Every structure is written in structure tokens, then in C-alpha cells.
Amino acid sequence: MASDQKEKVLIIIGDASETLDTMYPYYRLMESGFEPVVAAPEKRLYQMVMHEVKPGWTITKEWEGYTLQAQVSFSEIDPNEYAGIMYSGGRAPEYIRYDEDLVRVTKHFFEADKPIASVCHGVEIPAYADCVKGRKMATVPKCKFDLEVCGGIYVDEPCVIDRNLISGRTFHDNGHYVGPWIKLLEQAREAKS
């Protein structure tokens, strides 16, 4: 790799991806000298949302957030070109997890032990791809079932590290789990040079 070329890292989104789940790691990757590449079912503009359980509510309230352009579709991804992957939360994972190309890409990152981050509903993608058996993960409590029914181990902490897999519960955990994931990416980069 040329010294002026940055390593690329995938950020997986769809319509209704959570804004903070997505944008915080996006900019942290840039700050750390990586090139974030937004991937989705198609190359187009996606509508993100803001999710929060309001005081007194028992369900999630949703507002429109920013929009974000996907640079690559799942079908175009050669996972060998990417140093890591991040599964954003929001409602998108519930719908995009069935995409065969996303499953293919997900399996690659788990099998290759590359740095993986997941937050909130992002767990639904590796769970569906049959990649969480025996793996410890944090996720939003309402996705505990999705993780456990697929053989994963739910941990209610702001940062759960299981080898190459680093996860958080919601965007409230961004300051806890994103840094250790970036550190894994940096260590892998240093090992190559």
C-alpha cells in the first residue's frame, strides 16, 4: 500500500440507520487516518434517524436525522480491500441483514479476524449471518434475543471486547467502544508496515 493511500473501513447502513451510531465512528476513522467507506444495498442517498427512549416512554421514539450517501453497494464489495467493518444501529439492520452480499461480506470479516464494531441493532446482521455463536457482545436490550437465539452471549456493558469484535449498546456508548475498535485497526495497520 502506498504511504499516501489510507486503509479503507466499511460502515454498513441502510434507510433508518441511527445518525450518531453512524457519524461518530465515521469521523473518528477520518481522524485516525482511515478512509470510511459507506456501504448499503444500493449506491444512493440514505435517510438516517435519531433514536431514543424518551423519559416516560417504553418504546423508542424516532426523528429524522441527516442523510448520507452510500459509496458502494453490498454487491460491489470485495472484502479483501477493507481493513475493518462497522455495523451501525437503528432500524436498518432489521431489513438489510437478509442481503446475500452483506452476509458474504460479514462472514469474511469474522473468518479473517479483522476488526469489527457493532452497536445497537447492528448485532442483527452478524447474528443472521451465523457469526455470533459463542461470542460476547453488547447490544440494545431489545436485541438481546436476536443475539442469544443465534448462540451469542449478551453482556450489558458500554464496551464488550471479544477478540476482534468490539461492541456497544447504543450511541450513548460511543465514547467507550469506538476508541478500542480504532485501536485494533491501528494495531493491524502497524503490523502490516
Which residues, in sequence order, are bridge partners of residue 117? 86, 166
Chain segment 45-93, per-residue pLDDT in tens = 999 999 887 888 888 888 999 999 999 999 999 999 999 999 999 999 9
The β-bridge partners of 185 are: none
Q: Determine the pLDDT at residue 2.
A: 47
pLDDT by residue (tens digit) across 86-138? Answer: 999 999 999 999 999 999 999 999 999 999 999 999 999 999 999 999 999 99
Q: Catalytic site residue 176?
A: no
Query: Mean pLDDT, to the nearest integer, of 156-160?
Result: 98
125: enclosing H helix or E strand: helix 124-128
Query: Could you tell me the pTM of the whole model?
Result: 0.95
CB-count burial class (<10 Å; 0-12, 13-18, 19+) for 148: middle
pLDDT at 4 > cutoff 80: no
What residue ranges define each of the domains in the chain, with the CATH number in brackets?
8-192 (3.40.50.880)
C-alpha grid cell, residue 20: 450518531
53 φ/ψ sector (left φ>0, alpha ψ -120 to 50, else beta): beta
| Of 51, 108, 121, 176, catalytic | 121
Q: Are 182 and 11 in contact (CB under 8 A)?
A: no
The pLDDT of residue 53 is 78
